[in-house]
Structure 1
Amino acid sequence: MGKSIKDALKDAIGKKTLHLPGHLANPKPEIPKSRSTIQSDTEVVPLTAKVRAYVVPRQPNPRFSARQAIDKSRKAQLERKAAQQSQREMEQLERTYRSSKAPSAAAQSSKQQEPWTLDIDQDARAHSFLSSTPQHYDVTPPTLSGISEQIARSGNSRDARELVIGLDFGTSSVKVIVGDLAAGNAFAVPFSKSDGINRYLLPSRLWQVNERFSLLGGMQVHRDLKLSLLTKGDAQEAIQRAAAFLALVIRHVRGWLFSEHAETYANTKIVWKVVLGIPAKNYEVAPEQPYLIKRFLLVGRAAWLIAGGRVEEVNIASANGAVERAQQLLNGAAPADESEEVNVEIVPELSAQIYGFLRSNRFDRNAQNIFMMVDVGAGTVDSSLFFVERGSRGRWNFTFFTNQVQQSGVMNLHRVRVQWWSAALKGRRDPAPNLLRSLYENEFPTDYLGTIPERMDEYLQGTRLAFRDAKEHPDNEFYMKRVVAQVRGATLYRARDYLDQDTLKGIPVFLCGGGMRMTYYRRLGEELKHFHGVSWLKADARPLAIPNNLQAPGLVREDYDRLSVAFGLSFLEVGSIVRELPKPIATGTQKQRDNDDRFISKDHV
């Protein structure tokens, strides 16, 4: 019984040779109808296991005319194409057959290239902090509204006193300290009845109901208030919302102060001053102020006008009107009354942050007084190495040797993690849509006051993630290539262009900011103690102590750094700021620099 073509093909695939039965040795080829319907009198001869075919055309009949010869040639060409198509289809059939028996080489290669393995349980779920609902925060309103700039007085008093609102407008939260320069007192303003540091942290979050703004809740929430201001280009809506938010903060501050310290300021005319901080890298003094200083001055002035409005409601119309009027005042227009008279200043945040140390008895005016400051916030890591000295009339002068502001803060670490998880899940056959939804909804929670998980692996519970090489773990790459590279490389190591190695060796460094609550960032203290191969590249971490004149019930020393910027803003009188030196003042020998460069890779600077 003769074999069928199908059986013969299967045998050929297995044996790598193809022998057709005798009655099929010279079959007339079947040309697929989809390719050609022209009948052929050519012959297809099988040669190999893949059924390679060649065409043997018959000799043309000399009696045919030239036209017939051309037609015959065209037919032969079409037939050859049809035969080749048939050959490709048979080869595809062979590949399909073999792939059903074993994984393809490409699939095996792709699997080998993945540096990680991921197993997901059916009941896997997102970490509890990955919630689309904003973190609940109960604001405790003061007894008084704070709309008025003064406490009602029983008589006309000649006593006037300057009070400074040190307003640390952070990415995740606002911190405020009111400084009384004459009395030397500082009051940390609470926003809730929470315990410890949390009572002094107000989420940078603005609620909206229809056209009305509030701190207490609403139908719509606006986040990223500060980050929106830092963006170049048209920021009209960002300015409006930031001004409305800070106006509500100013009202809360004045209402609390007048309620809690009424006896102190009842018969005193208060001369107000508002001081906002910005990253040191964005700070520049005359002759021309950069756009960021101008924008923050506008926001601060508009916020003061809104806060002093005679109507309690803060809405879109009042915010827009205040922004327009504030711009007129900044352009030189005369104040209409006392409610428009306020001094708004902008100060580098890192300069303010160290002020508590400068006024303590631990500060030696006769020492070299070169320090390093690292502030890990929600959005950025701000690191500087600078010299500070006491100037005239109680002012402080700062010279920045190196200064870096990078998007390496806690929430940007969180975003990198979320993006990695999302890509990993989408690449699976079962992408777990519920897990993906939780990740997408919580990629940008900049107003989150809690701490995110220490490790990326903890984001999705019921999963097991393993990397063959720990250096390729996203957490390790972010830490070494972004955080350590900025702090130890671009800030400390690059200062050798201005200072000699003996000066830099063991330089004091202050590690501050909310991110330092995470062990992930706190490791910087150990990281800065030594670096293999470069003996001088080290810094000595020191804590910031609570100033004696700061009144902040419930605050512990370990948390003071969260309020250190606001404290400095409420007292610091800045003299000169030199943000960059025009040329190096100390370089060391070229041989020393070459030896150091051997140990410092491009990932560390």
Structure 2
Amino acid sequence: MRDALKALGLGLQKTKGVRANSRVWSAKPAETSSIPPQRRDAPLPTTAASDQRIPFIPVRAASPARQQSKGTQRVGAPTRGVERQTIVSPAKIVPTRPSGSDLSTAQPKPTTRIVRVGEFHPHALFVDDRADSRGLPLLMNEGIGRQLTAEPDNETDLVLGVDFGTSSTKVLIRDAFAAAGVFPVQFDSRRIGIESYLLPSRVFRTGEAYSLHDGTHQITDLKLRLLACKAKSPVTEFNDCCAFLALVIRRARGWLFTKYGDLYARHALNWRMNLGLPARSYRDEAMVRIFRRLAWAAANLAADAQAETITKEAADRYRIRSLSIETDPNQETCEFAWSAVDAVPEVSAQLQGFMSSARWDWQSRSVMMLVDVGAGTVDSALFHVRVPEAGDGVLTFYASRVEPNGVMNLHRDRVGWLQQLLPRETEHDAARDYLAAIAKPTDRLRPIPGSVLDYLPGYEVESDGPDVDAHFSMGRYRAQVAGCIRDAKVGKGVPPSQLQRIPLLLCGGGSRMRFYGGIGDAINSTPGWLVSVETMRLPVPPDLVDLGWHPDDFDRLSVAYGLSLAGHGETSLGTIVRDTEVPDIPSQLSAARDRNYVSKDQM
């Protein structure tokens, strides 16, 4: 059995009195551009040219300072003086013995058991937040009208950058002609710090009417349901997203007019909008069209004075109109023309924002990597930047992967793992109901606990095998990042000489967790890989209006900031070359294609 487990990369040596599977991450992400010190943590799972994964290296045992009883992993804080109740349940995620194994030499299958050590109570991070039920503050302007005056003295262009996230939505409004005119939209001034700029990605409906505040029906997973829809032209999923984004646009415009009304009271305002979409969806031309139609429909619905209350019928009307205007953009007059909206890959927007604000030597350090840890997905990309002296820059993706390895998917796997272990006796009903209640929501602004071991105060988990965190980290998150690097090395032929001391832009709300934040150390400690990175945070752009949040939190707004960068004509962010457009090693380049992307020989 031990040999079989080793072949699967899950072999562990049982150590007396020491946890077999320690926490996966044990270091905070680096905050400087220096190379992180080499660590002895488990390196990334590497892949060979044949794309067959090398078995995982076992996770290091915990330090003596964190040793507990034999094989015990804590889930919440125990309570003294309470009799321990032990319930044994096999861990379903542990692989079984391969067929044909010698029964006389097979090792017993690792087991995981849950132990009751005290009175259960919900974890503080999962206690209902009263701020979620109090609605949003009233604004003096409803944001339906696009102008503040019918007799302007001046004119300016305002660009809405809308980061439509899985858990929260962020909006920035850029004045194209102001030196310091990039305004992060504050949705709820009663919240503290960066959270006041994050709007939960959910919408309420009562009967036919939608609202951001309350309603008889709460609709969540807006973006995920649209992306997962198999229909060629989604209806319900499109309409729900359209209504939500229209309300968001009204809220953003109403906030600007309320707070900066005097500044724009005599201006003619020309509006445009850029909506973000996942980088991998940018490969799918049909999905790009859906998101651009969504941007157009939501922007025009928001500006429709006849639709003071946004309803299902109004959203559906603009959905149908978006189908016709896509084929013939000049057939009707709208508040937002088809050319005034765009759908842009979120990673590209972040990088364009970095390119426009960072002082960087693009000639000598033109290859970079980005890992954006969101609620639903992790975006990883390895790319090349060419910034000519004149004209638009060229952003060439050598590899990009978007996979459902974000914080809320880690959370759901954790909850499912604990639900499997929790027995069915009625004395555990409170814990079972609690796990069921916290399993699904994705529209939360608060973080999750750092480890699965912290989820159930009053219980402990005993295991002599890897837990769900170890499986998720090595089998999904680290494997994704390793695969992205492999795609560039093996698929596109990026030489090892260009993969040393690569700046790694680590961003997104989940990057603050130790679980995700140690990815730079994992890359640097992978032996024989000839890849090293320098972990860094995104710098705060100088043109961003400072409204009181900490500079380290800028990465939460970095997608919206990049989306607010308006370009020229039909393309909003200059030249973006997708990795699917970059030939693999055997391909020969035509003269026309050579002008549109940067090859490894040009680096």
Could you say if the C-alpha distance between residues 261 and 132 of structure 1 is closer, same or farther in structure 2, counting changes exceeding 3 Å? Answer: closer
1:138 Cα deviation (Å)?
A: 4.0
Q: Which residue of 2 aligns with 1:322?
A: 318
Aligned counterpart in structure 2 of residue 180 of structure 1, from 162, 175, 178: 175
Contact 2:110 2:464 survives alignment (8 Å): no
1:585 Cα deviation (Å)?
A: 8.1
> Is 1:396 the equivalent of 2:393?
yes
> Is 1:149 the equivalent of 2:150?
no
Quick one: distance in 1 between partners of 2:263 and 2:129?
A: 41
Quick one: distance in 2 between partners of 1:394 and 1:215?
A: 42
Q: Which residue of 2 aligns with 1:484?
A: 478
How many residue pairs get aligned? The number is 467
Contact 1:383 1:403 survives alignment (8 Å): yes
Report matched runs for 1:214-293 at 5 Å. 214-234=211-231, 235-284=234-283, 290-293=285-288
Quick one: distance in 2 between partners of 1:351 and 1:250?
A: 22
Aligned to 2:458, what secondary structure does the other structure show? strand
Aligned counterpart in structure 1 of residue 343 of structure 2, from 346, 351, 356: 346
Counterpart code for 1:582: P
Q: Which residue of 2 aligns with 1:34?
A: none
Aligned to 2:564, what secondary structure does the other structure show? helix
Aligned to 1:551, what secondary structure does the other structure show? coil
Superimposed CA distance per residue, residues 102-139 of structure 1 (whole angstroms, 9 cap, x where no aligned partner): xxxxxxx9995343231124632332444688944642
Aligned to 1:254, what secondary structure does the other structure show? helix
1:554 Cα deviation (Å)?
A: 1.2
Report matched runs for 1:91-490 at 5 Å. 113-121=109-117, 123-130=119-126, 135-136=132-133, 138-153=135-150, 155-157=151-153, 159-184=154-179, 185-193=181-189, 194-234=191-231, 235-284=234-283, 290-310=285-305, 311-332=307-328, 334=330, 336-341=332-337, 343-390=340-387, 394-426=391-423, 432-469=428-465, 472-487=466-481, 489-490=482-483
Aligned to 1:528, what secondary structure does the other structure show? helix
1:547 Cα deviation (Å)?
A: 0.6
Structure with higher helix content: 1
Counterpart code for 2:547: P
Contact 2:159 2:566 survives alignment (8 Å): no
1:385 Cα deviation (Å)?
A: 0.1
Structure 2: gaps (5+ residues): 1-103, 568-572, 588-603
Report matched runs for 1:7-156 at 5 Å. 113-121=109-117, 123-130=119-126, 135-136=132-133, 138-153=135-150, 155-156=151-152
1:229 Cα deviation (Å)?
A: 1.2
Quick one: distance in 1 between partners of 2:578 and 2:162?
A: 22
1:142 Cα deviation (Å)?
A: 2.3
Quick one: distance in 2 between partners of 1:356 and 1:122?
A: 50
Contact 1:275 1:570 survives alignment (8 Å): yes
1:431 Cα deviation (Å)?
A: 7.5
1:517 Cα deviation (Å)?
A: 2.2
Could you say if the C-alpha distance between residues 268 and 335 of structure 1 is closer, same or farther in structure 2, counting changes exceeding 3 Å? Answer: farther
Superimposed CA distance per residue, residues 492-522 of structure 1 (whole angstroms, 9 cap, x where no aligned partner): 2432222111110111110000101212111
- Percent identity reads 34
1:333 Cα deviation (Å)?
A: 5.3
Aligned to 2:139, what secondary structure does the other structure show? coil
Could you say if the C-alpha distance between residues 496 and 572 of structure 1 is closer, same or farther in structure 2, counting changes exceeding 3 Å? Answer: farther
Contact 2:325 2:332 survives alignment (8 Å): no
Q: Which residue of 2 aligns with 1:86?
A: none
1:365 Cα deviation (Å)?
A: 3.5
Aligned to 2:516, what secondary structure does the other structure show? helix
Quick one: distance in 1 between partners of 2:342 and 2:543?
A: 23
Greater relative contact order structure (CA < 8 Å, 6+ sep): 2
Could you say if the C-alpha distance between residues 136 and 528 of structure 1 is closer, same or farther in structure 2, counting changes exceeding 3 Å? Answer: farther
Q: Which residue of 2 aligns with 1:540?
A: 534
Q: Which residue of 1 aligns with 2:549?
A: 555
1:366 Cα deviation (Å)?
A: 2.3
Contact 2:149 2:268 survives alignment (8 Å): no
1:345 Cα deviation (Å)?
A: 0.5
Could you say if the C-alpha distance between residues 156 and 579 of structure 1 is closer, same or farther in structure 2, counting changes exceeding 3 Å? Answer: closer
Contact 2:113 2:421 survives alignment (8 Å): no
Aligned to 2:160, what secondary structure does the other structure show? strand
Counterpart code for 1:260: K
Quick one: distance in 1 between partners of 2:452 and 2:523?
A: 24
1:545 Cα deviation (Å)?
A: 1.2
> What TM-score, normalized by structure 1, do the two folds share?
0.73
Q: Which residue of 2 aligns with 1:84?
A: none
Aligned to 1:276, what secondary structure does the other structure show? strand
Aligned to 1:113, what secondary structure does the other structure show? coil
Aligned counterpart in structure 2 of residue 530 of structure 1, from 525, 530, 536: 525
Could you say if the C-alpha distance between residues 226 and 434 of structure 1 is closer, same or farther in structure 2, counting changes exceeding 3 Å? Answer: same
Superimposed CA distance per residue, residues 16-63 of structure 1 (whole angstroms, 9 cap, x where no aligned partner): xxxxxxxxxxxxxxxxxxxxxxxxxxxxxxxxxxxxxxxxxxxxxxxx
> Is 1:582 the equivalent of 2:576?
no
Q: Which residue of 2 aligns with 1:509?
A: 504
Counterpart code for 1:523: G
Superimposed CA distance per residue, residues 283-316 of structure 1 (whole angstroms, 9 cap, x where no aligned partner): 14xxxx6221111112111111211121421111
Shifted more, 298-307 versus 258-267: the winner is: 258-267
1:391 Cα deviation (Å)?
A: 5.5
Contact 1:191 1:199 survives alignment (8 Å): yes
Aligned counterpart in structure 2 of residue 519 of structure 1, from 490, 507, 514: 514
Contact 1:356 1:546 survives alignment (8 Å): no
Quick one: distance in 1 between partners of 2:259 and 2:133?
A: 26
Quick one: distance in 1 between partners of 2:201 and 2:414?
A: 23
Counterpart code for 1:543: R
Quick one: distance in 1 between partners of 2:134 and 2:523?
A: 36
Counterpart code for 2:494: L
> Is 1:499 the equivalent of 2:494?
yes
1:379 Cα deviation (Å)?
A: 0.3
Contact 1:167 1:174 survives alignment (8 Å): yes
Structure 1: gaps (5+ residues): 1-108, 587-605
Could you say if the C-alpha distance between residues 406 and 442 of structure 1 is closer, same or farther in structure 2, counting changes exceeding 3 Å? Answer: same
Aligned to 1:553, what secondary structure does the other structure show? coil
Could you say if the C-alpha distance between residues 456 and 432 of structure 1 is closer, same or farther in structure 2, counting changes exceeding 3 Å? Answer: same
Contact 2:149 2:267 survives alignment (8 Å): no
Could you say if the C-alpha distance between residues 247 and 402 of structure 1 is closer, same or farther in structure 2, counting changes exceeding 3 Å? Answer: same
Aligned to 1:482, what secondary structure does the other structure show? helix
Counterpart code for 1:405: V
Counterpart code for 1:265: Y
1:317 Cα deviation (Å)?
A: 1.4
> What TM-score, normalized by structure 2, do the two folds share?
0.73
Could you say if the C-alpha distance between residues 121 and 233 of structure 1 is closer, same or farther in structure 2, counting changes exceeding 3 Å? Answer: same
Shifted more, 355-364 versus 409-418: the winner is: 355-364
Could you say if the C-alpha distance between residues 346 and 270 of structure 1 is closer, same or farther in structure 2, counting changes exceeding 3 Å? Answer: same
Aligned to 2:262, what secondary structure does the other structure show? helix
Could you say if the C-alpha distance between residues 422 and 133 of structure 1 is closer, same or farther in structure 2, counting changes exceeding 3 Å? Answer: farther
Aligned to 2:158, what secondary structure does the other structure show? strand
Counterpart code for 1:416: D
Quick one: distance in 1 between partners of 2:325 and 2:334?
A: 13
Contact 2:143 2:251 survives alignment (8 Å): yes
Quick one: distance in 2 between partners of 1:111 and 1:447?
A: 44
Could you say if the C-alpha distance between residues 405 and 434 of structure 1 is closer, same or farther in structure 2, counting changes exceeding 3 Å? Answer: same
Q: Which residue of 1 aligns with 2:59?
A: none
Aligned to 2:357, what secondary structure does the other structure show? coil
Quick one: distance in 1 between partners of 2:409 and 2:510?
A: 11
Structure index of larger Rg:
1
